[in-house]
Amino acid sequence: MRMNRGLVSVVSLCVFATVLGGCSSVPREDYDAAVAESSQLRSDLASVQERLAAANARAQSLEQDLLMAQSEADRAAELGQTGFEDISGTTISTRGMDVVVGVAGDVLFDSGKTELKRSSKATLDRIASVIASQYPGRMIRVEGYTDTDPIRKSKWKTNERLSAERAMSVEAYLVSKGVDNNLIYSAAFGPANPKGSKAASRRVEIVILN
């Protein structure tokens, strides 16, 4: 649709006159205030854009650092060097690319108990330290297991309940030592997946998920 040329001329003349101070119903002080506000908004926008660019650059740098750390941990796992090898009372294995740190139940707990032994905390301290240094950002699952003997003389009604409470005790302790609460959870398996002996079956496995 073509605009009427006469209307264009009138609009153009009005705009020109407005710039010169005529043909305008807007007070000069309001016009100046609007111009100043517009200038300030442009300045604020430029400042926000600069801060956003800096934040994005920082986020990309942190993401790159995390990827490098995870890659190093993956390479170590492939080579059989998980970082946990020298921690007494543990067994190290893998499930695919997941690293499994097994800790004997007798190392962690007294019979039928869910409170950690004082002597077990040194082992868990070292595990937490390795997780922080070599596996940052990785999800952790704490798995509780028992032997296959049914519970008869304990307040825990089932082996599943006992294994759940023990897994949660280990989880809570690792969190208290700096493991991110948002990256760790526990699971109870009771007598599932027994080992070669009852003592070996009673365990907690700390699984660093890939």
113 and 188 in a single domain? The answer is: yes
The CATH number assigned to the domain holding 112 equals 3.30.1330.60
DSSP state of 181: G
pLDDT over threshold 80, residue 31: no
198 and 166 in a single domain? The answer is: yes
9 and 60 in a single domain? The answer is: yes
pLDDT in tens, 64-118: 767 766 665 665 556 568 999 989 889 999 988 899 999 999 999 998 899 999 9
pTM exceeding the 0.75 threshold for the entire prediction: no
191 and 95 in a single domain? The answer is: yes
Helix (H) or strand (E) holding 200: helix 198-201
Boundary (domain end) residue, out of 38, 62, 79: 79
Tokens in use for 169? Answer: 């005790």
Residue 8 burial (C-beta neighbours within 10 Å; 0-12, 13-18, 19+): exposed
pLDDT cut 90: percent of the chain above it: 52
Q: Which domain holds residue 116?
A: 82-208
Q: Whole-angstrom Cα distance, residue 84 to residue 90?
A: 8
Query: Which residues, in sequence order, are CB contacts of 138 under 8 Å at separation 6+?
Result: 70, 73, 131, 183, 208, 209, 210
Average pLDDT over residues 161-190: 97
Total structural domains in the chain? 2
43 and 22 in a single domain? The answer is: yes
74 and 98 in a single domain? The answer is: no
Going by their DSSP bridges, the two strands 98-104 and 90-95 should be labelled as: antiparallel
Boundary (domain end) residue, out of 79, 98, 118: 79
Boundary (domain end) residue, out of 48, 79, 110: 79
**Which pLDDT does position 153 carry in this prediction?**
74
pLDDT over threshold 80, residue 7: no
